Amino acid sequence: MAPDSAILDVQGVTAGYGGSAVLQDLGLSVRSGTMTGVIGPNGAGKSTLLKVIVGYLRPSQGEILLDGVAVTGLPPEQRIAKGIAYIAQTRSHFPSQTVQENLRLGAYLVKDARLRAERQNAVFERFPILHERRRQLAGQLSGGEARMLEVGRMMMTAPRLAILDEPSVGLSPKLVDVVYGHVRSLCDQGMSFLIVEQNVRKLLSVADFIYALEGGRNRYDGTPHDLSEDGRLAELYLGARG
Amino acid sequence: MTAPTGDTSPADPLLRIAGVSKRFGGIVAVDDISIDVARHRLTGLIGPNGAGKTTLFDLISGVSSPNSGEVLFEGRPIQGMQSHAVARLGIGRTFQSVRVFNEMTVRENLEVADRNGKHRGSQGFADRMGGALAFVNMTPHQGALAGRLSYGQRKLIEIAMVLIQDPKLIMLDEPVAGVNPKLIEQIGELLTELVRQRRTLLLVEHNIPFVTSLCDHIIVMANGKLLAQGDGEQVQRDPRVLEAFLGT
Amino acid sequence: MHGASGVRMLLDLVYFAALGVMTGGLYGLLGLGLNLIFGVMRVINVSHGEMLTLGAYTAIVMGLGGVTSPWAAIVAAVMVVTLIGFLIARYLLQPLTVESRIDEQRGMVLSLGLSLVLANLVLAVFGPEYQRVPGKLAEGSIVLGDLIIEKQRLIILIASLVLAAALMAFLRFTLTGKAIRAVGENPEAAQASGISVRKIHLLTFSIGSALAGAAGALITPATYAFPAMGLNYTLYAFSVVIIGGLGSVWGAIFAGFLLGIVESLSVIWLPSGYNTIVGPVLMLFTLIIRPQGLLGVKPGRA
């Protein structure tokens, strides 16, 4: 497979809850080593899309391909084993366990103790505050620290594709910058990202490629630059014709 | 449209919200909001998540009461009144999540609604029901169990349940959320028709294109405050509105 | 008040309280199992007491088969009830799982039905008679002045506490135990860590059942088994969980002893046979005064 090929392909996915389709014939792909963003107004189906990709929700139609191989029927933990990682919008950690235990659980599938130690060191090197607080309960961390713990937990599996649902939620603008700084640097180290955001300006400023959804369907895709032009955002979010 | 309540303010609004604030603990969910809802118009209330729209709806319909400020309906203060009393004054409301009784038939649902409306289940229910169902094109489903209907059909029944109470002000909380494009169009036509019948509508909706294409007057809230108001085009052109929705 | 009768009264209180402590450990253990299953799977397991019944009857069967050692019976009960718990989780509860969560109401109704089916199965196979096992856990009693405690009761207490401690250590210190807690706290994040919620559910229900089964075999030498015995213990387990606080491990232990002691003391004032209402009454009081339970946490955000 070519080096710039797609690590993730979502093909013609239709999915929803209890009969009503939230996603309709949706498609997207994430090229290896890039940061791909998904935007769209409320109810566009962004979080549902991520749930389908991670495997929490089965699509009624369509396929999810990881490295060109269909994973549509697999449960989440088997997709994690294949190199996907996922951080949910809120509280994607275990508050009543310590920071270190959270990281250990993140490496649940990693049987090699040396590999675990290496990765934990990498996490602590990136987030010294987590090292300082390693014996504290995760529930005692601040919002920003908890987010870092979640990124750390994700790093423990050394995923090739990280899927983030609104990493900026509940964080101050300064912390949003910090979090995205780490995301960018992990991406530069070769981790691919698929990120859903409501903080559209932020995502447009960091992502390599953007998909815009509306009403569960593809609306636009292109570089952040393309999307910022011609009042496309105003059309997407406010219905204005540019 | 720089002045929040400028020349757009009607002389005799059906509903006037004057300096209303609502706090939950340390959070100011609604922060000193003053707006007017003009008679026989379709007014839209929009804003990003957490803007305080539904809280404001709750304050108007008596689900909760404001910490300060006044809610005037036909010039009469109604803040702090219980929701059933507000309903009897002529304010009908739907909720974000569909609130029909799934185990009851459509007819029974409408009976319940009628009893809580100004007619209080008096004679002529059959006529009122016929009118309300015909209006939302659901007449054939009179005998159906509400739980057997599709999500969109239940939304229509909910609108009929408000209509049968014959309110002066109809408040709709996300009437087209989770509804397919065809039905969105149909609901849009219904709302326009209601205004033509000289009803007053206030709606909260996340589907902004729906609101901007339909409403006569649009109020934009962000972080509990009034951000802007005006007609669809004014709101679409206001850079502050777009930025609020883009989360910056 | 005469001095002598005051002392007499005090001694009575100490005596009955000590008896209560003997049974309290077992109640705590049952509550712990119920709490674990609820905390991780969100299943309100109304058939928890029947797992105890099955453990007790495993001991009876062993006795009928000529095995007189109660310890062998306990080991057998753990194995049998673990298997039954596993089968229930795999073939009855798993089909109710949607998006890694078991539908709470359907889970509860299923366990309610299961409780009736199991109790009646035991009735059909073994008959309604009260049955005993031949062996004892220990002979004789410990005598401390007026205080006479059967050694057996003391062993039941110690064994209950050992099992409870083993469970707590397992949950606290092993990776699998941490994974079980992780699934209880946040099933989505657990899956995102590569933990199979399905497997953890099977394991949790098996462990919870095994503890109840062990309890059943443990008490049989000191009392007797009958088909409907489970219902009482389900009530005890529920009382313990509600008094101690849903999800609270220490709350369950504490409430177990509290319930045991109050129940035992109630014998002084209540006519015999009325002791079973103590649990529900304590439960009601807790719900009125402190609905989250004595050591429970107030539900905050969802």
Query: Does residue A123 share a domain with residue A24?
Result: no
Which of A3-7, A70-74, B8-12, C123-127 is the least confident region? B8-12
Mean pLDDT of chain B: 88
Say whether both A196 and A79 belong to one domain. yes
Rounded average pLDDT over C192-215: 96
pLDDT tens track for B81-124: 998 889 889 998 887 777 788 899 999 999 988 887 777 767 88
Cα gap A80→A109, rounded to integer Å: 9
Q: Is A105 on the interface with B (CB under 8 A)?
A: no
Q: What tokens does A38 get? A: 């998904």
Nearest CA in chain C to A157: C193
**Within this chain, do residues A131 and A200 fall inside the same structural domain, yes or no?**
no
Whether residues C196 and A77 touch (CB distance < 8 A) is answered with: yes
Residue percentage of chain C with pLDDT more than 70:
97
A114 and A187 belong to one structural domain:
no
Task: Indicate whether this model's pTM tops 0.80.
Answer: yes
* pLDDT for residue C130: 94
Residues 6+ apart with CB under 8 A from A75: A55, C191, C196, C198
* 8 Å CB contact of C189 and A92: yes
CB contact under 8 A, A108 and C100: no
Mean pLDDT to the nearest integer, C117-132: 95
Q: Does the pLDDT of residue A17 top 60, yes or no? A: yes
pLDDT digits (tens, 9 = 90+) for A142-157: 999 999 999 999 999 9
Q: Which of residues 90-129 of A touch C (CB under 8 A)?
A: 91-97, 101, 104-106, 108-109
Do A3 and A98 sit in the same domain of this protein? no
Q: What is the per-residue pLDDT across C279-288, written as a single tens digit (0 to 9) for each?
A: 888 999 999 9
Residues above pLDDT 90, as percent of chain A: 79
For residues A137 and A163, membership in a common domain is answered with no
Q: Which of these three, A156, A173, A190, is where a domain ends?
A: A156
Domain residue limits at A127: 92-156
Decide: helix, strand or coil at residue C205: helix
Examine the pLDDT at B1 and tell me if it is beyond 50. no
Give the model's pLDDT for residue C302: 31
Among the partner residues B206, B212, B242, nearest to A43 by beta-carbon distance: B206
Chain A, 37 to 66: residues with Cβ < 8 Å from chain B are 41-43
Mean per-residue pLDDT, B133-139? 93
Band of pLDDT at residue A192, cut at 50, 70 and 90 = very high
User: Distance from C233 to chain A by nearest Cα, in Å?
Assistant: 30
List beta partners, residue B33: B20
If you measure CA to CA, which chain A residue comes closest to B244? A199
* Domain identity same for A178 and A224: yes
Please indicate, yes or no, whether residues A39 and A147 belong to a single structural domain of this protein.
Answer: no
Residue with tokens 């919008």: A89
Task: Report, as an integer, the average pLDDT of C6-23.
Answer: 85
Residue A209 and residue A186 share a domain: yes
Averaged pLDDT score across all residues of chain C? 90
- Cα(B147)–Cα(B150) distance, rounded to whole angstroms? 8
- Is ipTM over 0.85? yes
Question: Partners for B (CB, 8 Å, 3+ pairs)?
Answer: A
Residue range C100-104: mean pLDDT, rounded: 84
Question: Same domain for A127 and A75?
Answer: no
CB C211 within 8 A of CB C32: yes
CB contact under 8 A, B206 and A198: no
Q: Based on the structure, what is the number of domains in chain A?
A: 2
- CATH number of domain containing A57: 3.40.50.300
The partner residue sitting opposite B247, judged by closest CB among A20, A199, A234, is A199
Same domain, A55 and A103: no
Chains touching chain C at 3 or more Cβ pairs under 8 angstroms?
A: A
Q: What is the pLDDT of residue B107?
A: 93
Q: What is the per-residue pLDDT for B68?
A: 94
b/e C234-270 (16+ beta carbons within 10 angstroms → b): bbbbbbbbbbbbbbbbebbbbbbbbbbbbbbbbbeee
Residues A163 and A79 in one domain: yes
pLDDT at B121: 65
**Hey, is the C-beta of B51 within 8 angstroms of any chain A C-beta?**
no
User: Could you say which of A104, A125, A156 is where a domain stops?
Assistant: A156
Instruction: List Cα–Cα distances, A156 to A62, A81, A103, A148, B82, in angstroms.
Output: 30, 12, 7, 12, 54
**By the CB < 8 Å criterion, does A7 face chain B?**
no
What pLDDT does B7 receive?
44
Q: Are A240 and A231 in contact (CB under 8 A)?
A: yes
